[in-house]
Amino acid sequence: MNKQIQWGIMGTGRIANAFAEGLQNTTNGELQAIGSRNQESAQKFAKQWNIPTVYNSYEDLASSTSVDAIYIATPHTEHAKNAILCMTQGKAVLCEKPFAVNSEQVRSMIEKSREHNVLLMEGMWSRFPPLMRKIRNIIKNNEMGEIRTIHADFGFKPENNDPKGRLLNPELAGGSLLDVGIYPISLAFMINGKPDSIVSEWTRGKTGVDEQASIIFKYANGSMAVLHSSIQSDTGQEAFISGTKGTIRIHKQCWKPQIMTLTDSKTGESKKVESPFIGNGFNYEAEHFGQLLIEGRKESPIMPLEESISIISTLDDIRKIWGLRYPFE
């Protein structure tokens, strides 16, 4: 395969712009096409990012012969349908998180990727920055000892409280869990895997979505993860990973990791480690995905498909605890 991956983006919203910006700082990819159902929006996006090819339908983008990979940046209620459309046309797919809205949809996506033998990955972009890679190595090398507790949160107060918008609209699977709660949950999975038991409480908002939630994961070895999400208040947005030998503190915007402090439990000594982004951070997952495609691989070792299934199944389980179903389920 050509060492320059030809990318298409499906959708023209905020996250699509972030990914387009990220692609400017990759070494193995370039933005070839944009697809949108809104012609005006597509043309504006193409002009902003100097994209040579514009498609006025998702179907035309999916069938394009000039594109190797497609980044799905549509609302997450549309992820499964759009990803399957692209994979049916033989395209590699990087789909923005959450992969889809429930485990049934994610399983259908994975089945289609295997049926058509194409690369598929969930765009959990917080897994790929250099600092997060360092954290995985620290834990793998047992530098913190046995991990006993994880504390992580992501809460923010949005400027737009439109009840029909994506955050507050149950028809769009709105709420804190799928939008921001997935970040601390993904961190816990990266470190400890799937929990053995779950305890959770939530606040149902006026529109019926989860406006905030607290979640406790417990593991067979006694380790625990205490996680929080909110779309009604700004929180610390930090993470603490505590082991028998020391602690890792991921500083504010732990979902956008660039600074951590390592503390040795025996000596009490602390060391701050900074790893600032080159680019906006989306470039790291795009570079990784591009390399997988160049190598002919069908799955990421950093964000494997079975883990995506496990995470979305856990989100389903949390909603069952609450008694929350989306209207379309």
Query: Which pLDDT score is estimated for 159?
Result: 87
Tell me, yes or no, whether 27 and 83 share the same domain. Answer: yes
C-alpha span between 12 and 21 (Å, rounded): 12
Helix, strand, coil shares of the chain as percentages rounded to 5? 35, 25, 40
Query: Which pLDDT score is estimated for 1?
Result: 57
In a domain, 292, yes or no: no
Tell me, yes or no, whether 118 and 212 share the same domain. Answer: no
In a domain, 172, yes or no: yes
Tell me, yes or no, whether 143 and 234 share the same domain. Answer: yes
Binned average pLDDT, 10 residues per bin, the chain of 329 residues: 87 97 97 95 96 96 97 97 98 98 98 98 98 98 97 94 92 97 98 98 97 98 98 96 98 97 96 97 98 97 98 98 96
Tell me, yes or no, whether 106 and 207 share the same domain. Answer: no
Tell me, yes or no, whether 169 and 317 share the same domain. Answer: yes
pTM exceeds cut of 0.85 = yes
Tell me, yes or no, whether 142 and 234 share the same domain. Answer: yes
Residue 3's H or E segment, with its range, is: none
Tell me, yes or no, whether 112 and 167 share the same domain. Answer: no
- Minimal CA–CA distance to 124: which of 279, 230, 256, 314? 256
Number of separate domains in the chain: 2
Beta bridge partners of 230: 155, 212
Neighbours of 240 (CB within 10 A): 17
Last residue of a domain, one of 67, 91, 125: 125
Domain of residue 60, residue span: 5-125
Tell me, yes or no, whether 171 and 200 share the same domain. Answer: yes
Tell me, yes or no, whether 18 and 143 share the same domain. Answer: no
Q: Which two tokens stand for residue 46?
A: 């193409």
Query: Which pLDDT score is estimated for 3?
Result: 78
Residue pair 103/307 in contact (Cβ under 8 Å)? The answer is no
222-234 per-position pLDDT tens digit = 999 999 999 999 9
Tell me, yes or no, whether 121 and 206 share the same domain. Answer: no
Residue 319's H or E segment, with its range, is: helix 305-322
C-alpha span between 72 and 35 (Å, rounded): 10
Tell me, yes or no, whether 120 and 147 share the same domain. Answer: no
Query: Which residues, other chains included, contact 219 with Cβ-Cβ below 8 Å and sequence gap of 6+?
Result: 192, 193, 195, 196, 225
Instruction: Give the ranges where 36-159 is alpha helix by DSSP (H).
Output: 39-49, 58-62, 79-88, 103-115, 130-140
| Phi, psi angle pair for 154, to nearest 5° | -150, 110
The whole-angstrom distance between residue 132's C-alpha and the CA centroid of its chain comes to 14
C-alpha span between 175 and 193 (Å, rounded): 24
Distances in Å between the Cα of 42 and the Cα atoms of 38, 62, 91 are: 6, 15, 20
- Longest Cα–Cα distance of the chain, Å, equals 61
Side chain identity at residue 41, one-letter code:
S
